[in-house]
Amino acid sequence: MQLPETKYVKFSNAKLSLTETRLSLRWVPATIEELATFHVFCKTATPADWKDGLPTQFHTLLAKLVQESSVTATELASDLLEILFPLHFEHNSAMLVEEAAVFSPTKPVPSHLLIKQISTVAKRENYGVSEDLSARMAIWRWEVQDLALLPAELSAMIEARRVRRAEAKKEAYMLVRGLSFGFFFWSVLFFRSQVFCLFCLFSS
């Protein structure tokens, strides 16, 4: 059985995936610049500055860091905490603790609070089929809900990529239907061959 042709999604190694390369905004100049600004802020921040998580002025940075990520919220939060707080910032000191003897892995923003903020600025979309069928048939991407949080010069490209991913979702369902039909077809052929073999065995 030949699978239907698709443009935006593919099936290989028993897994669905997008044909496009995942776009990361982590290393674009705007993100690097804002991350540097954030680290300067961290040097003089107090515990009160972190009581609600990342201050709202850095939601644009959060948006850049999460856009098109494929991992779960827990994994994403863990990853971002290492980027945002690579070393422990003393809450009430302008000094960054660097000495190994006083190094602390504590982060000013707890993971659960960052997860909540991630879910505020972005939504995790499945561009494959239901994970109930198989986790390998799901294609996850975090999508920032307000494009104004992202660099204006990238808005058109990001919107175009979302349109292609929406088409990919349609193709994914079509592809899985083809796979299901193919499995059914070959199962019937196998069953009929087994019946034929039994018939030959008992009739000989």
Q: List all residues 6 or more positions away from 22 whose beta carbon is below 8 Å from its beta carbon.
A: 68, 70, 141
Residue 24 lies in a domain: yes
The boundaries of the domain holding residue 68 are 9-203
Whether the CB-CB separation of 201 and 26 falls below 8 Å is answered with: no
Q: Please report the pLDDT score of residue 175 as a whole number.
A: 84
d(CA 80, CA 31): 13
Q: Please report the pLDDT score of residue 194 as a whole number.
A: 47
Whether the CB-CB separation of 129 and 176 falls below 8 Å is answered with: yes
Q: Please report the pLDDT score of residue 30 as a whole number.
A: 95
Q: List all residues 6 or more positions away from 167 whose beta carbon is below 8 Å from its beta carbon.
A: 7, 8
Residue 4 lies in a domain: no
Whether the CB-CB separation of 127 and 18 falls below 8 Å is answered with: yes
Residue 3 lies in a domain: no
Taken in order 15, 20, 25, 29, is the CA torsion positive or negative?
Answer: positive
Look up residue 23 and give its amino acid.
L
Q: Answer whether 0.85 is exceeded by the pTM.
A: no
Q: List all residues 6 or more positions away from 42 whose beta carbon is below 8 Å from its beta carbon.
A: 85, 89, 108
Residue 47 lies in a domain: yes
Mean pLDDT, each 10-residue run in order, the chain (204 residues): 75 90 94 96 93 96 98 97 78 42 65 97 94 84 97 95 95 79 38 46 55
Q: How many residues does the chain have?
A: 204
Q: 3-state class of 128 per DSSP? A: coil
Q: For the chain, how many structural domains are there in total?
A: 1
